[in-house]
Structure 1
Amino acid sequence: MFLQQAYTPKLGLDLAGGTTVTLSPVTQNNAAPPEEILDRAVNIIRDRVNGTGISDAEVAKSGDNIIISIPGVGQSEAVKLVATTAELRFRQVLAMEPTQIPQEMATNAPTPSASPSASATGSAKPSSSQSATTPAPSASPTGKALSSALTAASPAPSPSATQDGGQQDGKKDQDAKKGQDAKSTPTPTGETSPPPQQDPNAGVNTEGIDPAVLAQYNKLDCADPKNRGQGVQDDPNKQFAGCETDGSFKYVLDVAKVVGTDINTASAGVQQGTTEWVVQLDFKSKGAGEWSKLTTTAYNSPEPRNKVAVVLDGVVITAPNIISPIPGGRAEITGGFDQISATNLADQLKYGALPLKFNRSSIETVSSTLGQDQLQGGLISGVIGLALVVLYSLFYYRGLGIVAVLSLVVATVITYTSVVVLGHNAGFRLSLPHIIGLVVSIGITADSFIVYFERIRDEMKEGRRSLRAAVEVAWVRARRTILIADAVMFIAAIVLYFLAVGGVAGFAFAMGLTTLIDVVVVFLFTKPFIAMLARVRFFAKGHPLSGLDAERMSEAGSGGRTTTPQEA
């Protein structure tokens, strides 16, 4: 807490307000979306904004709209996250060519080494950067970072490049001469015939390409930023024409053989041996098999069909060459990420793709629904409950009550620290249900040391054991009862946490957290502290104010209690 300079907990929606985003679905013909699709979208968005279940974010349907309430003001990254489709697709490249970008755009365009790229393994090595307008022959067509499983740099195709490679230059000269001859060839009527129109697909292997997609590819202008914006809903079952993120290349892509739903998990981290942030993907069993087939097909195909494009929301992130089939079901997106952007992308992929496209119809800042007075009321109730337990412990256990008080103080400090640290690292926000769970935990902690104290008394009755011996024997028997009681409470908290949402899940989380803290305090503080006090004469000799005097224990043991130790 001190290292992070975080000293106060973050507050939830009901105590501090936040941001409300209303999403309206976009469907074909403006038809109402199916109910099951909306439910799926709600679950995905809930996972995205409240993936851990402790950030106090709320997601609910209102008619065909989805309303998301996010704690805190200015949650711009979360607002962007909830409406992004974030569907990742892996498609084989069928055709590609560089795009002529205006000079002013090329000047301002990011260098390829700073833009995202993908690899199939965890060891990516950056390739040499290239101009966005004229790819160097020694650079990869995508100019991206490739792994050892991908090809070395290959010549980038020119706008009229074909699989015949070097034969194109000779053909260009011949075509130019034919064009000149055509211009000067008179018709029988004496008129000069118009020059033949240049075929836009000259030199392109169009085999297997849908004519409609090919026509779209010919018209596609990747210099226009509108064609490079994410959020495009590309059908994974159809071929697709799209642009690269920086507009340097345009592609015809085959149907998606691996899609975002085939991803098992995604995580952000620093690439081994570098300081570069990457997004690592692990595929499900079916996705791993399809990924292996896709890379095998690309490996056995000629240029440029030996490439696999990584497409996110209709934009090609990278299209690396495949130089060998890649089994194992792992992939990696690298290049140009910082911690925030890598984490956001990993969250989008991990929590799934939205089944619909949504427009943000409204974004509003809302005030707290309860306010500071309710927060103070909850804290005051906790202080009153804590004070009553302390007074009762001192009255009934006298000297042993000091152990109870200090145990509660230690538990309170650990709980507060946990709330603050979780708030600054895991998005935990303290709401009224959380406060209720923390207040209830006071009784859980008190139960634990009461069980232990009563076991010690049972062992010391009628002078059968010394205090030092009673402390150890009582602990062996009491800890079983403590663990069973805490286990029952923790299981209840887990079940409630996973079956409930919103405030109820927050209450369950707080209760489960404090139950774990109770086990830590009893084992690492309460028991060792009592063992230390057993060496102090005041307690060992049974002083009347120690709570372990023979007269007091005999009073506690009256009512027909036998001398046989009883389980607490």
Structure 2
Amino acid sequence: MAAPKKGRRSPGAHGHPGRALAVILVALAALVGGMFLSGNTKPRLGIDLAGGTEITLTAKSTPGQQNAVNPTNMDTAKNIIQQRVNGVGVSEATAQVQGSNNIIVDIPKGTNTEQAVKLVGTTAQLYFRPVLTEAAGTPASAPSPSSSPSPSSSPSASSGAKAHSGSSAKPSASPSPSSTTQGRAVTGALKSSASSSPSPSPSPSAGSSGLDLSIPANLQSQFNALDCSNAAQRANAGEGARPGDKTIGCSQDGKTKYVLGAAAVAGKDVSKAQAVYDTQTGAGWIVTLNFDGTGSKQFTDVTGELAKQQSPNNQFAIVLDNQVVSSPEVSSAITGGSAQISGNFTQQSAEDLANVLSYGALPLTFNTSDVTTVTPQLGGQQLQGGLVAGAVGLVIVVLYLLAYYRGLSFVAVVSLMVSAALTYSIMSVLGPAIGFALDLPAVSGAIVAIGITADSFIVYFERIRDELRHGRSLAPAVARAWPRARRTVLVSDFVSFLAAAVLFFFSVGKVQGFAFTLGLTTLLDVVVVFLFTKPLMTILAQRKFYASGHPWSGLDPKSLGVQAPLRRVRRSARPEVKEA
């Protein structure tokens, strides 16, 4: 077999460096193009760099829960609030307990402040309560108190939330309050009873069906005087009532008021809540609820009891923070541990409701004490100082590479530029995608990554030099040095990434930003070294400037201490002496 010609290499000797370079350059072009097309040409900044909103919440004691404001409940509330805000895409929001009864929530700029205040301050105390009676939201002439509501004194059956597909219900001729506009529960068993319910009859007395439907005289008086059209009265209706107490409440639109029985199912028994768009029934945006084992049994039991009653006692009210979200009627027991809340929801309102229900109810009631706009002046000064320090460190690294590696420093500097471009474009894209915000700790993580990336180049260069010292030419040295350098780079980057992952999952707040950036840049270091540095070095090894060991290439055999191999001297054989 003929030997290959000098200067040519076999196709598989060094792989296909051009393909690897094409892959990373195409990926970089796609990221930069996506960044400009989406209009997100800059990373999203955190509250310490761009400013934002600081919300102060003050916990208050409620009747019967004077000792509820304790460190355990405050810490629980802090975690729930942070999960809620992060649940709408704000990844850099922080919540901290200050003193004994305050929680400070910092939200970066770019978030809907009004929505954020609503989310963090919503107690989300959710209860399912049977409806004892209902009436128009404005006060009427007070009827004489009675032990139980009579059908004639309650609104007609059409006043409940019962607009379901396929229902034959028709409004009665008598005036009645309109159904709640914020939402209504929807399941197969929640149907209108205007045309299918039996003829009116007195409500069952306490104990006949397992439900106590009596109304105390003092509660009836409060109900008669309640004006749900007044925002202050609507907000304070039922305040201080415990889950086991009967209470009064208003619909969220203030058009209907209720007397409600003791809570039958608590919101803590909701295992999952999700906002979905209902295309089958045309109900629009709805919130689906799934109960745990306890809540499923309680929900089945109470809906079974309510189904035996007449209107309005066959309704149950979904009460969120003392306001009735909906009051659907029940025609049969609802089994399966799931239900739906639907109505005039927008996508945002459905997601907000699902968000507060998914992460649980706050164990305390909070007042919004202060909402302050935070300026980025202090963070900007710190960022300027950090960038100056990072620039000085980068210049020192480049000068060291130039002085020690000379021509090889070109490979390192270009690789650092590619890594910086990838990091910047990815951070710009991740801002709107996952809510990532660049804050001071995240900038610190990116600066630390410069040293990690430079270390990978140095490992590879030193392996190549070692091979040259053993007397090999540059092209074989580049090929033989790569497997050994690759193992070292992977082990080093794996340790850095593992540290970043542990720090991310076991820390909170801004420390997570540092860990996320460190982990991201560590992964990019592997990508750049494999798909850019190594292929570029393979191509340059075939150029005369590097292959000939030019003094400024950084691969000069003389400066590396390479000695020419010793030549063996062939001695001529002694003439054989023949004997006579």
Question: TM-score normalized by structure 1?
Answer: 0.71
Confirm whether residue 64 of structure 1 aligns to residue 63 of structure 2.
Answer: no
Confirm whether residue 211 of structure 1 aligns to residue 215 of structure 2.
Answer: yes
Letter in 1 for 2:370: S
Aligned partner of residue 429 in structure 2, secondary structure:
helix
Deviations 1:199-253 (Å, cap 9, x if unpaired)? Answer: xxxx444531253356655554444444544895553333443232234444444
Corresponding residue for residue 99 of structure 1: 136
Structure 1 distance, partners of 2:234, 2:172, is 14
Corresponding residue for residue 48 of structure 1: 84
Deviations 1:253-305 (Å, cap 9, x if unpaired)? Answer: 44334333233444445445679444444444544554455555555666555
Letter in 2 for 1:494: A
Structure 2 distance, partners of 1:357, 1:31, is 12
1:493 Cα deviation after fit: 2.2
8 Å Cα contact 1:23-1:360 kept in structure 2: yes
Deviations 1:103-131 (Å, cap 9, x if unpaired)? Answer: xxxxxxxxxxxxxx899xxxx96989998
1:439 Cα deviation after fit: 0.6
Q: Write out aligned runs for 1:27-46 (5 A).
A: 27-28=61-62, 33-46=69-82
**Which one of the candidate residues 402, 410, 416 is aligned to 1:402?**
410
Structure 2 distance, partners of 1:78, 1:380, is 35
The 3 A distance-change label for structure 1 pair 233 and 7 is farther
**Which one of the candidate residues 417, 420, 433 is aligned to 2:441?**
433
Q: Write out aligned runs for 1:161-560 (5 A).
A: 164-165=198-199, 203-207=202-206, 208-212=212-216, 216-217=222-223, 219-229=225-235, 232=239, 234-271=241-278, 276-295=284-303, 297-298=305-306, 304=312, 306-322=314-330, 326=334, 329-368=337-376, 370-455=378-463, 462=470, 467=475, 471=479, 475-530=482-537, 533=539, 536-538=542-544, 541=547, 543-544=549-550, 549=555, 551=557, 555=561
1:468 Cα deviation after fit: 7.2
Aligned partner of residue 256 in structure 1, secondary structure:
coil
The 3 A distance-change label for structure 1 pair 557 and 493 is farther
Question: TM-score normalized by structure 2?
Answer: 0.70
**Which one of the candidate residues 145, 154, 177 is aligned to 2:193?**
154
The 3 A distance-change label for structure 1 pair 341 and 28 is closer
1:371 Cα deviation after fit: 4.5
Structure 1 distance, partners of 2:270, 2:482, is 49
Structure 2 distance, partners of 1:323, 1:267, is 25
Aligned partner of residue 45 in structure 2, secondary structure:
coil
The 3 A distance-change label for structure 1 pair 322 and 453 is farther
1:440 Cα deviation after fit: 0.6
- In the alignment, structure 2 segments of 5+ residues that lack a partner are 1-34, 140-160, 207-211, 565-580
Q: Between the two proteins, what is the percent identity of the paired residues?
A: 42
1:55 Cα deviation after fit: 1.4
Aligned partner of residue 188 in structure 2, secondary structure:
coil
Letter in 2 for 1:48: R
Structure 1 distance, partners of 2:293, 2:92, is 32
The 3 A distance-change label for structure 1 pair 554 and 253 is same
Corresponding residue for residue 8 of structure 1: 42
8 Å Cα contact 1:461-1:554 kept in structure 2: yes
Structure 1 distance, partners of 2:162, 2:458, is 59
Deviations 1:44-83 (Å, cap 9, x if unpaired)? Answer: 3333345688415342313433333433387222222222
Corresponding residue for residue 177 of structure 1: none
Structure 2 distance, partners of 1:488, 1:230, is 56
**Which one of the candidate residues 79, 90, 113 is aligned to 2:117?**
79
Structure 1 distance, partners of 2:336, 2:528, is 45
Structure 1 distance, partners of 2:234, 2:452, is 57
Aligned partner of residue 211 in structure 1, secondary structure:
coil
8 Å Cα contact 1:127-1:146 kept in structure 2: no
1:408 Cα deviation after fit: 1.9
Letter in 1 for 2:127: R
1:148 Cα deviation after fit: 5.6
Corresponding residue for residue 564 of structure 1: none
Structure 2 distance, partners of 1:353, 1:15, is 32
Structure 2 distance, partners of 1:549, 1:309, is 81
Structure 2 distance, partners of 1:228, 1:356, is 20
8 Å Cα contact 2:186-2:341 kept in structure 1: no
Structure 2 distance, partners of 1:504, 1:252, is 49
Structure 2 distance, partners of 1:470, 1:327, is 70
Corresponding residue for residue 16 of structure 2: none
Deviations 1:516-549 (Å, cap 9, x if unpaired)? Answer: 3333434444445555x26854488455379585
Corresponding residue for residue 174 of structure 1: none
Aligned partner of residue 430 in structure 1, secondary structure:
coil
Structure 2 distance, partners of 1:286, 1:524, is 55
Corresponding residue for residue 27 of structure 2: none
Letter in 2 for 1:414: L
Total equivalences in the alignment: 497
- Structure of larger gyration radius: 2
1:326 Cα deviation after fit: 4.9
The 3 A distance-change label for structure 1 pair 292 and 476 is farther
Moved more, 456-465 or 34-43: 456-465
Aligned partner of residue 363 in structure 1, secondary structure:
strand
1:85 Cα deviation after fit: 0.7
Structure 1 distance, partners of 2:450, 2:194, is 70
The 3 A distance-change label for structure 1 pair 464 and 382 is same
Structure 1 distance, partners of 2:409, 2:169, is 71
Aligned-residue RMSD, C-alpha: 4.5
Aligned partner of residue 41 in structure 2, secondary structure:
coil
